Structure formats: C-alpha cells, structure tokens
Amino acid sequence: MADLPDKTTSFVDWYLEVVEAAGLSDKRYPVKGMNVWTPYGFRARRELDRIMVREIEATGSVPVEFPALIPRTEFQKEGEHIKGFDAQVYWVTRGGDSELDVPLVLRPTSETAMYPVFSLWVRSHRDLPLNVYQIVNTFRYETKTTRPFLRVREIHFFEEHTCQLDEESATVRVRSNLEAFGRMARSFALPFVSVRRPDWDKFPGAFYSVALDIPIGGARTLQIGSVHHYRENFSRPYHIAFEAPDGSQRFVHQTTFGLSERLIGAIVAVHGDAKGAVFPTEVAPYQVVIVPIPSGEKGPEVSQYAEEIARRLTGRGLRVFVDRSDDRPGAKYYRWETAGAPLRLEIGAREAASGTVTAVNRLGTKTKVGPASLEEGVLAALGEFDKALYDRALSAFRNAFSPASTLAELANSTTVRIVAWCGKEPCGRAIESAIDGALLGTPEGELPLPVPSLGPCLACGEASGTGWALAGRPM
C-alpha cells in the first residue's frame, strides 16, 4: 500500500485519502456532494448522534421531527434569513404531473418549518421554555468544492430550536448550549474555541452567532458548530407570542444550536496521522479489534479463545470486532490502524495458553493484559489511550495559535492569529484582507490559551474595545 500524502503539506489530499482508506464514506454516488454512509462510517455517525442526544437531553431538550419540505410562503417570511439561504436551496416545484401551486423548499435548516407551528404551540408563559431538537438530513446547494463530511449537499444535521421568555433567558440558553458542547467535545477529544462572529458573518437573521471553531493546521480553521441568539427576529414575523403573567402579549426570544456530520470530518482531521484515522474510544465504530493469530495445530484453540474474549468484552459494553478474515496478521494490523480503531488485541497461542491478551493502542503503546482482571485491564488501556490522544490534540491546539501585533505580520501566518481589534467593521475588514481570510470573532468567555497583554487595535491603533479577536483562514 502506498503511503498517505503528508498531512502538513498536503492536508486536503491527505484528508480525502484517509476518509477513503478508512472506509468511512463512498463518494461514488452519482449526485455531487451526496455521499453514501458505509457500514463503518454509519457506526461512527451513530455514536456521534448518541453523544449529542445524551448531552442535549441532559439540558432539558426533547426530540421532535418536522417535515423536510417547507412552503415558499413560510420560507420567505424573515427577510435576512431568506437572503442568506436563497442561493442554496433546492426547490420542489412539481408533484407528479402537476406544477405545485406553492413551490416547496427542501429544508436547508428548519427555522421556517418549525416556527409557524411554534406559534400554535406557544400560547402562555407556562408553555416556555420550549426546547426541542431534531437530527435530520438537510439540503444545501453548495457551490464550493464538496468534501466528504466537511462540505456536502445532503447534511446529517443536529438542530436545537428554543423559545424563551426574554432576552436574558435566551442568553442563558446560549450559555447552556456552549457548556453542553464542551462536554460533547471532550467525548470527541477535540479542543475548540467559541467565538462570537462579527456582525457581517453571523447566521442570516440572528441577533448574534457564536461559532465553535477548531484549528486544523497552518492558519486554517474549521467551524464545527454554532449557537445563535435570535432575539425576536423570527418570533415577530412568525408570530410566536405568549401572554405574560401581567396579561400583556409578548414575543418569545429564540435560540438555535447546530451541529453536523462535520464533527466526523473534524475528528479525522484533528486526530488522524501518517497511518490514517484515529477515533477516540467514545466515537469509535469498533473500540476493540481482535486479531487472532492462529499458528499450526493451535489454530482452533486460538480462534475459540479470541471469540471468548470478544464475548467477555462485549459483555462489558464495548464495541468489539473480531477480524476473522484470511489476511495475514500484518495486513490486519495495517487495516485497523488505517481505520483508526483505538485498541487492537493480538491473540496467539501464547495468549490462549496463559489467558492473556497483547493490547496495542492506535498510538503504538503495547501492554500485556490479564489473566487477572482482563476486562479491567482492557478498559484501563482504552482510558490511557484516550488520555494520550487528548493530550496530543491539546498540545497541537495550543501550538496552533500565536499573537500578531501588526497587520503586516498577518500575511504569512502559519497559525491562527490572536489580534487586538477595536470592534469596528472597517478595521475587521482590514485584518481579514491582511490575513487573506476571516476575522473569526471575539472569544465567548475565556480564551483557553495563554494570551499576552492587550495592545491597541491592529488596524487603527486605537484602544481595543472588544479585547482579543481571532483571525484565520476558514476552510
């Protein structure tokens, strides 16, 4: 097998080959940007969904599912929103032989599907908060180059939509979403920054948008999710109003929280290395892969022992795969390293005779486990692997940012830059053109990085009103 392209110098080629070699997605479907979830990729997605559901439901959100088609009349009620999405929507204009009276939009996101119904659900302050989420496919007619998981036209999408009593409660909801994402990100072993996007880059129709960004090498960044505060921007056109305790009619304040399959792309991009993908244990399609190494007459005993170990570990809640193929052990090791399985158990005649296993984690650490407390030993090996993987990601994350104190310094940035910005748009635009990228925004809360003392705005030299901002080149 040929080596993978170099991750640092040829990131995109490396990424595409890893997705392919790991068997996560089949891009041969005959619609551009719409890929097939393979059995292995689907398993990763199922774990991703499980983690998202666990964390969002812990905050009191409940699942719903709205239809995929939205009447044009509803889609067009909020002016900014429609402007932002008009060029990206697929239209359904025919039903069988007839032209539809009202053309239908295939949802690019579900505000305009949900909010007409929210206006029926919300009547009184007792109906609030309304916190619902759905995990559905959404459709966007991407005009940029599509890439599996990172930029697709049919998106596996998590979206939470909430209605709150007032602006303050909506702000609290935004914070709660950011905390929930922090817990999810720990499961994915992904360090990230939350940044409030500048006004010119917020979600269409939002009061403000907080993006979840990760550095992916050089000055490049990837947005892996977002949380938005809508104030009354949607509740007014959609008439989502309630009677307050004092009898007055008020509009709800709304928030949304969006995540997608891009998280799988992010996991590949951040953790993957020269050997292929690397999955943290929580998201791994298979957490433990058993490779039996039958030798001569001990073959049947080895196979039997491998199956027994698989049963015992499955019994402990682990996702286990026994590689029973006829390939040589070396080929199996290679396959599962490429596919990113956290832990491989090598089982030969010696292990079968002693009731042990040889555990090799995806970062190359080898340990003998058993015979006493074999299951605990395997769980401990997974725990050590996760810690080492997170430490590796955290160290890369910390090295991925550096301060810049002049516009000129931004030109040849090899990291995401920490800059002082006064908050004015012309200065923000000047920073963007200097880095040939984007002003990502201002950190929401503490930046999880060491920062120098704040200087004047890079562009105008005035005292920096907003504090730190980040600038980079979004992928």
CB of 427 to Zn ion, least distance (A): 3
CB of 420 to Zn ion, least distance (A): 9
CB of 117 to Zn ion, least distance (A): 44
Our CB check for Zn ion shows the closer of 283 and 422 to be: 422
- 263, 296 in Cβ contact below 8 A? no
Length of the chain: 475
Calpha distance 408→458 (Å, rounded): 9
Calpha distance 110→61 (Å, rounded): 16
Between the two ends of the chain, the Cα-to-Cα distance in Å is: 29
Q: Which of 307, 252, 259 is nearest to 45 (CA)?
A: 259
Our CB check for Zn ion shows the closer of 70 and 459 to be: 459
* 5, 93, 157, 467 from 17: Cα distances, Å: 8, 38, 24, 40
CB of 29 to Zn ion, least distance (A): 48
47-79: b (≥16 Cβ within 10 Å) or e = bbeebbeebbeebebeeeebebebbbebbebbe
CB of 202 to Zn ion, least distance (A): 19
Our CB check for Zn ion shows the closer of 278 and 422 to be: 422
- 336, 344 in Cβ contact below 8 A? yes
CB of 431 to Zn ion, least distance (A): 9
Our CB check for Zn ion shows the closer of 116 and 423 to be: 423
Contact positions toward Zn ion, by CB under 5 A? 422, 427, 457, 459-460
Our CB check for Zn ion shows the closer of 130 and 427 to be: 427
Calpha distance 105→265 (Å, rounded): 27
Our CB check for Zn ion shows the closer of 274 and 463 to be: 463
